[in-house]
Amino acid sequence: MDRFRENDNGILVATDVAARGLDIPGVRTVVHYQLPHSAE
């Protein structure tokens, strides 16, 4: 997370667990992606 905070990209792709409670100044976009439970 420290390396992400130092980057000026401003885009975070995270799972549900990681997306909850993160408050990082300068993040313009958060992509919340949930993987399916099976490959079907």
Q: How many domains, in total, are found in the chain? A: 1
33 closest CA partner among 8, 5, 18, 2? 18
Residue 24 is predicted with a pLDDT of 76
Average pLDDT, the chain: 73
> Is residue 12 domain-resident?
yes
Say if residue 19's pLDDT is above 70: no
Per the domain annotation, does 26 fall within a domain?
yes
Task: Look up the domain containing 25 and give its range.
Answer: 2-32
Average pLDDT over residues 17-24: 71
Nearest to 12 by CA among 35, 39, 25: 25
Averaged pLDDT for residues 7-31: 72
22 is a domain residue: yes
Check residue 7 and give its pLDDT. 74
Residues in the chain: 40
In a domain, 40, yes or no: no
pLDDT in tens, 21-38: 777 777 777 776 776 777
Q: What is the pLDDT of residue 26?
A: 74
